[in-house]
Structure 1
Amino acid sequence: MILLTEIQYNPSIAYFQQMLRADSILIEQHEHYTKQSYRNRCRILTSHGPQDLTIPVKKGNRKTKITELEIDYSQDWVKVHWRSIRSAYGSAPFFTYYSDYLQQIYGQKKQYLFELNLALLRFYMKCLNIKKPISFTESYIPAYAGAVADYRNKIHPKLNSAILDIKVYNQVFGKQFVPDLSIIDVLFLQGPEAVFYLQASPAAPEH
């Protein structure tokens, strides 16, 4: 099965769950930018509950191609995001193991959102030892058939249906398990074992 999807910022757990089920990944690079999606935001768990971190982008329009969307560095969002991530996960068992590598990617200050998201995706795939081939669309096709599972816009901040059952793991904050978060939540807490928590369990997690 080929997983067709947009590229996300610090992709969600659901994103990697679907990736593990696929034989290869096809990333949409000819779509137009869509606001209020995981393309430029991610969700982490803080002491105050789930929090979205959003990358500001330079003003575009509905016809702005996703690969041409520039990041707005006039706002010091890198410092804000990193401070929030460190505050949320600084005490997690594997934070120091991964944080320097992750911070290096942020420090590169990629011009385009697509470039940053791709660098992050490759980093997380390496951390999780996911060796799936990645290719990119050659044009925009509204609908696919056959062996392509079209997940464009199905993993979304306002939709919870895309996440599969996930094995419960201890989180830094809260007594009730929060499943629909960025991959960094399980990665910082479980390290190399994180990939096993992404595999769907036969029963829903207990709260």
Structure 2
Amino acid sequence: MSSLLHLTYFPNVAHMAVMLKNNDCFIEAHDTYLKQTYRNRTCIYAANGKLQLNIPVIHSQNNRQLYKDVVIKSEENWQINHLKSLESAYRKSPFFEYYIDDILVLFEMEAQNLFSFNLKCLEVIFECLQLPYNFKFTERFEHHPKEIEDFRSLVYCKKEVQQNFDSYTQVFEDKQGFIGNLSILDLIFNEGPNTVNYLKALRVKK
């Protein structure tokens, strides 16, 4: 069966596992933008534990603003700050040097539209994992889509995935222990080529 997901900033592990579940995955392209979601944020494992990286956006007074129309605040140095945070968190990880050049381009490009930027991030991740990139986009918004597995609820920050994630070695786990379902970057920098096997073995609960 096909899967339906929201597009997020460097998807977390659960998001990516759903994307790899089958070759017929749809990205919601007609949703209304809401705050407190992973649309503009991702979480990494820093020296002091879980660290949230947020992309600053221009909020419209219109509560019906579409996600695909959301503009990123260009005057803030968020790309530089996010890159510094990633370097601080993962420079000692086994595969940081192997992948960082591919990911670096995302923090050097001009990012104006949130949806487009997140889409580019997803493309780069699939290139790093050497996976085919063939997503489809919804043609309209449906609250209760039929004949498709709806995983759009994974976008909400306050609704964490209730399941156990198999542990893997993380840079700072000796301080905080294992933290599951972080940004896909955490898994890539720590597990490298084994990332795909880890994702395919994971069965995500809605």
TM-score by length of 2: 0.90
Describe the SS at the equivalent of 2:201. Answer: coil
Matching residue of 1:120: 121
* 8 A Cα contact 1:165 1:200, kept in partner: no
* 8 A Cα contact 1:186 1:194, kept in partner: yes
The answer to whether residue 88 in structure 2 is matched with residue 72 in structure 1 is no
* 8 A Cα contact 1:24 1:132, kept in partner: no
Aligned partners of 2:42 and 2:22: how far apart in 1?
A: 22
Aligned partners of 2:135 and 2:151: how far apart in 1?
A: 15
Aligned partners of 2:202 and 2:102: how far apart in 1?
A: 30
Matching residue of 1:138: 139
Describe the SS at the equivalent of 1:50. Answer: strand
Aligned partners of 2:141 and 2:122: how far apart in 1?
A: 21
Identity across matched positions, percent: 34
Correspondence list, 1:18-97, <5 A: 18-60=18-60, 61-97=62-98
Aligned partners of 2:164 and 2:199: how far apart in 1?
A: 8
- Cα distance change, pair 165–19 in 1 and its aligned pair in 2 (3 A): farther
Aligned partners of 1:133 and 1:75: how far apart in 2?
A: 33
Describe the SS at the equivalent of 1:21. Answer: coil
Letter in 2 for 1:89: Y
Aligned partners of 1:55 and 1:201: how far apart in 2?
A: 28
TM-score by length of 1: 0.90
Gaps of 5+ in 1: 203-207
Describe the SS at the equivalent of 1:154. Answer: helix
> What is the root-mean-square deviation of aligned Cα atoms in Å?
1.7
Letter in 2 for 1:113: L
Letter in 2 for 1:48: N
Matching residue of 2:150: 150
Matching residue of 1:167: 166
Correspondence list, 1:167-186, <5 A: 167-175=166-174, 176-186=177-187
* 8 A Cα contact 1:168 1:197, kept in partner: no
**Mean alpha-carbon deviation: is it higher for 149-158 or for 34-43?**
149-158
Shift, 1:174, TM fit: 2.2
Describe the SS at the equivalent of 2:156. Answer: coil
Letter in 2 for 1:173: F
Task: Report how many residues are paired.
Answer: 200
Gaps of 5+ in 2: none
